[in-house]
């Protein structure tokens, strides 16, 4: 057979699959829509009914030991009355010893209930700072430094309970913004920050010596609050954040224990960033303090 005739002869071929599958002609399957009334069937949060009931009936729960102790005391007296045993008997008998033990437990329950009623957790709420709003900063601040200082203030005031911010660096007050104490002169101006006097105080020296953040959760309990006369008189909490070894950031809050552990960690990072930025301008000529600008 010649080669040309072999090439011209048809080669038998039978597909094993249907033509439409080999060509990729597949027809879409009908899609059934979900019922509009179907609900979420996944795990649901569980409620603690006991905790909810206790929180809704706080007074009744605190009085339960008194009721239990009183009922126990009456039960012991009733038992001795109906059992033909004298109210005062020899303590050597087993019945008398059991009654004395029961009386002691009943009295303990009554006293515990009285303590629960007298000691209650104090509700913590925000306070309105007693002062005026001010914005004081050095003049001729570079735009980079100025924008970063304002960013730090806006971030802290928006996210945390911060209402006052003071930054002292290299012996100078770089920034005083937010609420401040009103001057006693009656001129409607804020008390300025005396950087030299602040650096001589025990709060500043203690923070700079330790090199770590100091959190005064309840400023009212600390006698060192007299070293911060520029803050509003009703400032509830203060964070003293060192800026390296040359400065400090003073943050005043409007809530007792209002700064959480996450806030404290975040403020530490902000302090490191401010220290890095401020260190670039320490070697520059001293900045001139501008007149206070109030808003």
Q: Is 260 exposed, middle or buried (0-12, 13-18, 19+ CB in 10 A)?
A: exposed
E strand or H helix at 125? none
pLDDT of residue 23: 41
- Would you state the structure tokens that stand for residue 57, as one six-digit string? 């009936």
pLDDT tens by residue, 206-228: 999 999 999 999 998 888 889 99
Beta strand 214-216 with 247-253 is unpaired
pLDDT of residue 149: 92
Buried b (16+ CB within 10 A) or exposed e, 177-199: bbbbbbeeeeeeebbbbebeebe
Phi, psi of 145 (to 5 degrees): -70, -40
Q: What is the pTM of this model?
A: 0.61
The number of angstroms, rounded, from the C-alpha of 24 to the middle of its chain's C-alpha atoms is 61
* Residue 138 near residue 288, CB atoms below 8 Å: yes
Q: Which residues of the chain have pLDDT under 70?
A: 1-47, 84-92, 282-295
pLDDT of residue 43: 57
pLDDT of residue 161: 94
pLDDT tens by residue, 185-206: 877 789 999 999 999 999 999 9
pLDDT of residue 292: 42
Q: Which residues pair with 177 in a beta bridge?
A: 135, 165
For the chain, report the end-to-end CA distance as a whole number of angstroms: 107
Beta strand 162-169 with 214-216 is unpaired
- List the 132-137 sheet strands across, edge first: 132-137, 172-180, 162-169, 247-253, 237-243, 214-216
pLDDT tens by residue, 112-151: 989 988 887 777 788 999 999 999 987 777 888 889 999 9
């Amino acid at each position: 057979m010649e080669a040309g005739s072999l090439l011209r002869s048809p080669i038998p071929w039978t597909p094993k699959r249907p033509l439409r599958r080999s060509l990729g002609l597949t027809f879409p399957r009908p899609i059934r829509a979900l019922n509009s009334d179907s609900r979420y069937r996944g795990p649901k949060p569980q409620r603690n009914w006991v905790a909810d009931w206790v929180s809704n009936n706080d007074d009744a729960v605190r009085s339960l030991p008194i009721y239990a102790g009183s009922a126990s005391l009456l039960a012991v007296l009733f038992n001795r009355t109906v059992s033909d045993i004298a109210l005062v008997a020899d303590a050597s008998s087993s019945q008398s010893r059991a009654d004395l033990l029961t009386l002691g437990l009943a009295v303990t329950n009554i006293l515990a209930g009285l303590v629960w009623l007298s000691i209650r957790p104090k509700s913590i709420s925000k306070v309105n700072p007693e002062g005026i709003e001010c914005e004081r900063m050095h003049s001729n601040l570079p735009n980079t430094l100025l924008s970063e200082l304002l960013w730090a203030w806006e971030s802290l005031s928006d996210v945390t309970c911060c209402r006052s911010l003071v930054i002292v660096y290299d012996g100078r007050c770089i920034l005083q913004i937010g609420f401040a104490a009103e001057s006693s002169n009656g001129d409607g101006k804020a008390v300025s920050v005396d950087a030299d006097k602040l650096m001589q105080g025990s709060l500043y020296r203690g923070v700079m010596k330790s090199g770590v953040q100091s959190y005064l959760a309840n400023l009212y309990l600390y006698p060192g609050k007299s070293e911060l006369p520029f803050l509003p008189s009703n400032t509830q909490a203060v964070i003293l954040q060192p800026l390296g070894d040359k400065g400090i950031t003073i943050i005043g809050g409007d809530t007792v224990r209002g700064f959480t552990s996450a806030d404290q960690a975040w403020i530490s990072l902000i302090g490191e960033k401010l220290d890095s930025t401020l260190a670039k301008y320490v070697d520059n000529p001293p900045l001139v303090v501008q007149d206070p600008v109030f808003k």
